[in-house]
Amino acid sequence: MDILHRFNEGYNWMLSKGDPRVQSWPLMETPVPLLTLLVLYLVMVYQGPRAMAPHKPLPLTSVLVAYNLALVCLSAYMFYEFLVTSILSGYSFKCQPVDYSNDPLAIRMANVCWWYFFSKIIEFLDTAFFILRKKNNQVTFLHVYHHCTMPINWWLGVKYVAGGQVFVMTILNCFVHIVMYSYYGLSALGPHMKKYLWWKRYLTVLQLSQFFAVIVHTGYNMTTNCSFPTGFNYAVFIYAITLVLLFSNFFKNTYSKSKED
């Protein structure tokens, strides 16, 4: 009982340190709704292929084209909002503390941070569509790891640091997602589009480049006197390294000379 009491005290203390501006926003009051969605996601990953085993793959061409187009538009909107709001706010690319005020620009930045977090929930559908189309080979450890960890990272980001220097990585990632979901949308049109999608490997290169950029940017802030929370810098730095390792392994296994031969 003493352990439970201490845990409850620690949990309540953690929530009390959150940004009061986002307290009433959807999914932000406590982590329970997000954790519930993550459990349901993992159940889908585990049970989905089994449930689809006796069935034929679903033809989802129209749905996939519409879905990917919607994510291109959402990514473009977030890219615009992060870029314009950071410029209007006079953000520094070297070190930018979080503005916790109720200034309209500070609220605008926090709002687009929430949309960025919520986009990671929407992207659970990436996995659902793979399973419904029986593309189970696409549901790799890298895929599931990335889709599980990003919502957690960004729930914490919105809850505690909705703004500040995270705008650098979000601008990069939104740009990558514009390109990535454009590729997926074109690919969904059918095999006849394959000849136009020769640039797939360069999409992975672009993804790796953004991770390296995040490592450099965050590493710089870890070695300077920056008023952005140090713990978040270390967490982002370590997380970006894990993505570099996993995406590098994917690139090697997918595009190595032996695979091409």
Give the Å distances, CA to CA, from 178 to 26, 71, 79, 214, 239: 25, 8, 9, 18, 22
**56: DSSP letter:** P
Instruction: Output phi, psi for 99, to 5 deg.
Output: -95, 105
What is d(CA 256, CA 254) in angstroms, rounded to the nearest whole number? 6
Residues 219, 148 contacting (CB under 8 angstroms): no
What is d(CA 97, CA 224) in angstroms, rounded to the nearest whole number? 13
Residues recognised as catalytic: 146
The 3-class SS string of 154-211 reads HHHHHHHCCCCCHHHHHHHHHHHHHHHHHHHHHHCCCHHHHHHCCCHHHHHHHHHHHH
What is d(CA 249, CA 197) in angstroms, rounded to the nearest whole number? 21
In 3D space, the residue among 78, 87, 166 whose CA is nearest the CA of residue 123 turns out to be 78
The alpha-carbon radius of gyration of the chain (Å, integer) is: 20
Q: Count of alpha carbons within 13 Å of 10, Cβ hemisphere only?
A: 6
Residues 165, 96 contacting (CB under 8 angstroms): yes
